Amino acid sequence: MTTISGLQNGGTAAVDSSRKNTDANMDKAAQQFEAVFVNLMLKQARQAVPDGGLFQSDALKTFREMQDRELAGTLAKHSPLGIAEALKDFLARGQEKSAPATNEGEAK
Protein backbone atom coordinates (compact mmCIF):
# COMPACT_ATOMS: atom_id res chain seq x y z
CA MET A 1 0.00 0.00 0.00
CA THR A 2 1.43 3.37 -0.94
CA THR A 3 1.17 6.46 1.18
CA ILE A 4 -1.40 8.06 -1.10
CA SER A 5 -3.67 5.04 -1.22
CA GLY A 6 -3.30 4.69 2.55
CA LEU A 7 -4.51 8.24 3.00
CA GLN A 8 -7.40 7.74 0.60
CA ASN A 9 -8.55 4.64 2.45
CA GLY A 10 -8.45 6.40 5.79
CA GLY A 11 -5.32 4.61 6.95
CA THR A 12 -2.63 6.25 8.96
CA ALA A 13 0.40 7.08 6.89
CA ALA A 14 3.60 8.78 7.91
CA VAL A 15 2.89 12.49 7.93
CA ASP A 16 5.72 15.00 7.72
CA SER A 17 5.34 17.19 10.79
CA SER A 18 8.69 18.95 10.39
CA ARG A 19 7.05 22.03 8.89
CA LYS A 20 4.52 22.44 11.69
CA ASN A 21 5.00 25.44 13.91
CA THR A 22 5.74 23.67 17.22
CA ASP A 23 8.22 24.30 20.00
CA ALA A 24 9.90 20.95 19.35
CA ASN A 25 10.43 21.79 15.68
CA MET A 26 11.73 25.24 16.59
CA ASP A 27 14.18 23.70 19.08
CA LYS A 28 15.38 21.19 16.50
CA ALA A 29 15.80 23.84 13.79
CA ALA A 30 17.70 26.13 16.16
CA GLN A 31 19.98 23.26 17.22
CA GLN A 32 20.65 22.32 13.61
CA PHE A 33 21.43 25.94 12.74
CA GLU A 34 23.88 26.17 15.64
CA ALA A 35 25.50 22.89 14.56
CA VAL A 36 26.00 24.20 11.02
CA PHE A 37 27.39 27.48 12.34
CA VAL A 38 29.83 25.75 14.73
CA ASN A 39 30.87 23.36 11.95
CA LEU A 40 31.71 26.34 9.71
CA MET A 41 33.71 27.90 12.55
CA LEU A 42 35.68 24.68 13.04
CA LYS A 43 36.29 24.39 9.30
CA GLN A 44 37.67 27.93 9.18
CA ALA A 45 39.85 27.24 12.22
CA ARG A 46 41.27 24.13 10.52
CA GLN A 47 42.08 26.18 7.42
CA ALA A 48 44.00 28.67 9.56
CA VAL A 49 46.42 25.92 10.62
CA PRO A 50 49.08 25.30 7.97
CA ASP A 51 48.96 21.94 6.19
CA GLY A 52 51.82 19.56 6.28
CA GLY A 53 53.29 17.13 8.68
CA LEU A 54 53.85 13.43 8.73
CA PHE A 55 50.26 12.24 8.74
CA GLN A 56 48.53 14.35 6.09
CA SER A 57 46.26 12.51 3.67
CA ASP A 58 42.81 12.74 2.11
CA ALA A 59 41.59 10.07 4.52
CA LEU A 60 42.73 12.10 7.51
CA LYS A 61 41.09 15.21 6.07
CA THR A 62 37.81 13.31 5.63
CA PHE A 63 38.05 11.93 9.16
CA ARG A 64 38.65 15.41 10.61
CA GLU A 65 35.65 16.78 8.70
CA MET A 66 33.46 14.01 10.12
CA GLN A 67 34.90 14.59 13.59
CA ASP A 68 34.23 18.32 13.35
CA ARG A 69 30.65 17.68 12.20
CA GLU A 70 30.01 15.40 15.19
CA LEU A 71 31.68 17.85 17.57
CA ALA A 72 29.53 20.67 16.19
CA GLY A 73 26.38 18.59 16.71
CA THR A 74 27.36 17.77 20.28
CA LEU A 75 28.20 21.39 21.05
CA ALA A 76 24.88 22.52 19.58
CA LYS A 77 22.95 20.09 21.81
CA HIS A 78 24.55 21.56 24.91
CA SER A 79 24.38 25.16 23.59
CA PRO A 80 27.62 26.53 25.00
CA LEU A 81 27.49 29.42 22.54
CA GLY A 82 23.81 30.20 23.02
CA ILE A 83 23.13 30.63 19.30
CA ALA A 84 20.24 28.16 19.37
CA GLU A 85 18.62 29.92 22.34
CA ALA A 86 18.97 33.32 20.69
CA LEU A 87 17.48 31.98 17.46
CA LYS A 88 14.54 30.39 19.32
CA ASP A 89 13.85 33.68 21.11
CA PHE A 90 13.99 35.55 17.81
CA LEU A 91 11.63 33.09 16.11
CA ALA A 92 9.23 33.14 19.07
CA ARG A 93 9.02 36.94 18.90
CA GLY A 94 8.26 36.70 15.19
CA GLN A 95 5.47 34.21 15.86
CA GLU A 96 3.91 36.46 18.50
CA LYS A 97 3.80 39.36 16.04
CA SER A 98 2.29 37.25 13.26
CA ALA A 99 -0.36 35.68 15.53
CA PRO A 100 -3.88 36.92 14.79
CA ALA A 101 -5.01 39.70 17.09
CA THR A 102 -8.01 39.19 19.33
CA ASN A 103 -11.15 41.22 18.76
CA GLU A 104 -11.39 42.84 22.20
CA GLY A 105 -12.34 46.31 20.98
CA GLU A 106 -15.18 45.17 18.69
CA ALA A 107 -17.68 44.09 21.36
CA LYS A 108 -19.32 47.42 22.36
Per-residue tens of pLDDT for the chain, all 108 residues: 455 555 555 555 556 676 777 788 888 888 999 999 999 999 999 888 877 767 778 888 899 999 999 999 998 888 778 888 898 899 888 877 766 655 555 454
Q: Where are the domains of the chain?
A: 21-98
Sign of CA dihedral 50, 53, 55, 56: positive
Query: What is the reported pTM?
Result: 0.63
**Inter-axis angle of helices 23-48 and 83-98, to 10 degrees?**
140
